[in-house]
Amino acid sequence: MSRIIGIDLGTTNSCVAVLDDKGIPKTLADADGERTIPSWVSWAPNGQISVGQRARRQAVTNAAATIYGAKRLIGRKVNADDVSWFARLAPFRIVAAPNGDAWVRVHGQPISPQEVAAHILRAIRKTAEEALGEPVTRAVVTVPAYFDDAQRQATRDAGQIAGLDVVRILNEPTAAALAYGAHRVREGRRIIAVFDLGGGTFDISLMSVENGIFEVLATGGDTALGGEDWDRRVLERIVDEMFDQYRVDLTTIPMAMSRLREACETAKKALSIDRETTISLPFLANDQHGAPINYERTVTREYVEQLTKDLLDRLESPCKRALADAGLTPGSTNDIEEVLLVGGMTRWPAVQDVVERIFQRKPSKGANPDEVVALGGAAYAGILAGEADDAQLLDVTPHDIGIKVGDSGFALVVPRNSMLPVRARRLFATTTVDQKFVSIELYQGEDKEVAKNRKLGQVVLDDLPKGPAGSVRVELIMTVDVEGILSVTARESKTGREASVTIRPSGGLSQREIVEIITRRRQESSHAGVLPGGGVRATTQEHMIAKPDDDDET
Ligand code: AMP
């Protein structure tokens, strides 16, 4: 059996790790020596597909066909609030697939986010195969704790398209805790906070660990807050200054904006160590008289902190809300024992100060925040393969599962964080005289209002025996197996008549569609230069949201 790799498939960057010969998780570098790759995919007009840093470099010249943030779309409906928000900002088009899923449109062709993610996973797989010198076919892939079944299944499907058997989907905070060895502490229950500030998103998770069981107590965050906001603040200030000084509007010069954006990020990273740095960009633009502007400016950490103070403030309330949801008070003796930092932006000293203030303890800095999730994925892969220590780690249901009651209520049947496999029963009674059938609608989510949760399916039991309201009883039995497959049976108590339904998590693509994508991809690789298209995409009807029908056609 080939080794199982651990993959952190991130919103901004991705990373891969594997256990080394001594059983220690190690990240793997690609041919350029990089241990993280930008989660970007770009389609050149001639059909050439680039991934990672090469794709990101096309963000200016080929913006409409250069996709980032596919993780924000995977397994999501196009009309979800944060998808609409992302669609308004993104320079590429986000469109609705026939089933309402959020897809992207590249050179006129709709493409599922699963397929975009598959390109990233394929690049990661290649990195791993080259580093290990052996074929890689199995992976543990991490996802945010709040991902629902559809998002998790869509991530698995992306793996399948990339030729990877995703043996397990692992929660990112659990992965971070594993990388810190939290599963090895055998005695008692520990509570851990995982503070994850990446390039574009902020997630806070509070979890408990006891005997190998990781329980998510509360999650929160801000999907519109990340390191890029810090970069943008500095960039906007420089753009204003340039305009005041030279009357040049840099926002109209894409190449200058691209260079400036990169320089601002580099300066920010330098300032997380040094107090002062220089941004130097020769020939950035021409002034009004056509003379070149050689831009140079010293920036201090203090200055960037002033520009971004409100961003820091925005970290606080999601943490407080999560603490309240989990019933925890920072500073009290038996509460949070450890705060783990994840995401490159947690290297920023002011962010670490905020974390310390909120949780009233110094965060642990033992692991590299860009790599810690992938390292945890590899540690888990080792546990699954029996290579690592004999720690056990149990899978749990990520969300409540229940049924619709009355017009809009949600009745809980299987609570979230139930260890898999799990079985639960509930008894219901008819509500009308001689009721002929019951139709039980199944939902996943935490909201008391059923419409705000995700519908999974329904089970209908008919030919009920006659009788007054409340006299006929129907027992509902729900089982979720270790693979997360939900089976539901409704049984009328007197006659034993029953109806069942099995619900496999669906990420939005059918197996047939996945196989078609794989086949098309193979054909494309053997006919370099062919435009993306054909197969399922060519026949897909779609309507657009947010973006006018203008610039990206070829
Ligand atoms: P991630 O999504 O976890 O890869 O985090 C990427 C974000 O972390 C980007 O906004 C980076 O600019 C930021 N980042 C990476 N290294 C540093 C650093 N040394 N100081 C400040 N921010 C950093």
Q: What is the CATH number of the domain that holds 414?
A: 2.60.34.10
Cβ-contact 74, 150 below 8 angstroms: no
Helix 149-161 and helix 113-132: axis angle, to 10°? 50
> DSSP state, 77?
B
Distance CA 174, CA 178 (A): 6
Cβ-contact 285, 256 below 8 angstroms: yes
How many angstroms does the Cα of residue 13 sit away from the middle of ligand 1?
A: 9
Cβ-contact 343, 272 below 8 angstroms: no
> Do residues 156 and 201 share a domain?
no
Q: Which residues line ligand 1 (CB under 6 A)?
A: 10, 12-13, 36, 198-199, 226-228, 265, 268-269, 272, 343-345, 347-348, 370
> Do residues 143 and 163 share a domain?
yes
71 is catalytic: yes
Q: Residue 190 sits in which domain range? A: 185-225+314-365+386-391
> Tell me, what's the pLDDT at 186?
67
CA atoms within 13 A on the CB side of 491: 11
AA letter at 375 = L
Cβ-contact 162, 121 below 8 angstroms: yes
How many angstroms does the Cα of residue 279 sit away from the middle of ligand 1?
A: 18
Which residues 6+ apart lie within 8 Å of 497 measured at CB? 461, 463, 464, 491
Q: Residue 384: enclosing H or E segment and its boundaries?
A: helix 372-385
**Annotated active-site residue in 101, 149, 157, 196:** 196
**Annotated active-site residue in 115, 148, 172, 524:** 172
> Do residues 214 and 241 share a domain?
no
What percent helix, strand, coil does the chain show, rounded to 5? 35, 30, 35
> Tell me, what's the pLDDT at 420?
81
Cβ-contact 96, 140 below 8 angstroms: no
Position 540 in a domain: no
Position 293 in a domain: yes
> Do residues 468 and 349 share a domain?
no
> Do residues 16 and 37 share a domain?
yes
> Do residues 45 and 93 share a domain?
yes
Cβ-contact 7, 377 below 8 angstroms: yes
Instruction: Give me the CATH number covering residue 267.
Output: 3.90.640.10
Position 535 in a domain: no
Position 380 in a domain: no
How many angstroms does the Cα of residue 197 sit away from the middle of ligand 1?
A: 8
> Do residues 91 and 104 share a domain?
yes
> Tell me, what's the pLDDT at 102?
97
> Do residues 277 and 355 share a domain?
no
Global pTM? 0.86
> Do residues 498 and 515 share a domain?
no
> Tell me, what's the pLDDT at 392?
65
> DSSP state, 422?
E
Cβ-contact 457, 447 below 8 angstroms: no
How many angstroms does the Cα of residue 334 sit away from the middle of ligand 1?
A: 32
Measured by CA distance, the residue closest to atom 15 of ligand 1 is 344
> Do residues 361 and 487 share a domain?
no
Instruction: Give me the CATH number covering residue 77.
Output: 3.30.420.40
Distance CA 269, CA 138 (A): 34
> Do residues 149 and 248 share a domain?
no
356 is catalytic: no
CA 139 vs. chain centroid, Å, equals 16
Position 118 in a domain: yes
Position 376 in a domain: no
β-strands 40-43, 49-51 pairing: antiparallel
| Residue 106 backbone phi and psi in degrees, to 5 | -125, 125
> Tell me, what's the pLDDT at 368?
94
> Do residues 236 and 345 share a domain?
no
Q: Which atom of ligand 1 is nearest to the CA of 265?
A: 12
Distance CA 318, CA 308 (A): 18
Cβ-contact 298, 234 below 8 angstroms: no
> Tell me, what's the pLDDT at 331?
66
The answer to whether the Cα torsion of 209, 212, 218, 223 is positive or negative is positive
Position 553 in a domain: no
Our count of domains for the chain comes to 4
Distance CA 327, CA 310 (A): 27
Position 468 in a domain: yes
The sheet carrying 454-461 orders its strands as 409-414, 401-405, 438-444, 454-461
Residues of the chain below pLDDT 50: 528-554
